[in-house]
Structure 1
Amino acid sequence: MMKHTLSVVVENHPGVLARVATLFRRRGYNIDSLAVGRTENPAVSRMTIVVEGDDVVIEQVTKQLHKLVETIKIYDITDQPTVDRELVLIKVKADAQARSEIIQIVDVFRGRIVDIGPNSLIIEATGDTGKIDAIEASLRPFGILELVRTGKVSMLRGAR
């Protein structure tokens, strides 16, 4: 089983996201990551959906997505040259002794500290999935209090 990245261009209407999620749920497919936002055209949104499955599963998902009235275009960009990013916010335990070490880790990953509390720091980092997994693993020994990830957003390279 392989993770596939689908870039789905849809009309920006209420309920489209719910219909897409229902389509996956009814067929028993798990969405690994889903990010949705308006494009340069406010009437159009782009969904970046990461789903695990073989070629048959991806073909089924694609056929079902095409049946939705609001679907404009579907791209399987799994094997295409892309730029992808995720955003993560991590609240980590940070007493006085640990702060300098945490700050060094954040610097290595080119992250930012966006909040300082009496016993915690909130770190923001962006990058590909591997980088986000790595900063999370590096901060885990300090004690992660809370974590939220956006999911992958992806764009084909070049002028296509």
Structure 2
Amino acid sequence: MAKLKNENNSGGVLLKSIIGLPKYVFVALAILLMGFIFLIATINKNPLHIYLLPENFTGEVEITFAQADYPPLKIEKNIYNVPTSGKLKTSTNLKGGPVEVYYVDNQGHRKEVIHEEFHGVSTGSGGKDNLTVAHFYIGTKDQYDNYVKQLGF
């Protein structure tokens, strides 16, 4: 009978002798490792998009992508230097990812646009020219509501 007991526990004894840890500690570490691998696999790997707007900018921002005659965005990050017109064209293709929006003053200092001033985010593609365009509006809720009314919505 003792011989059977040793055969049934031989895997646990072998495991303990190989790594020097009790079986339950090894199992806990394996679960933690699998959780860490899952976390790394699910982290957003899409690039950060940084929109730099002129100081005190209010209005629609429109970015048109994949335009051959326009410069690409900076490679290390997708940085959009939006002109006062709010319209920007780039040869870079649109990729999803998190967005940060800043006002930039004449000295290059950034001030983050607060969430309450960021409205109507949309992207779309198609039309006769098959353009890919991203839109959003910067301003107060009242300014955005007036803008939408002017568009006839």
Tell me the TM-score normalised to structure 2 length: 0.26
TM-score (structure 1 length as normaliser)? 0.25
- Higher strand proportion: 1
Which protein has the larger Cα radius of gyration, Structure 1 or Structure 2?
2
Query: Which of the pair has the greater relative contact order for Cα pairs under 8 Å at 6+ separation?
Result: 1
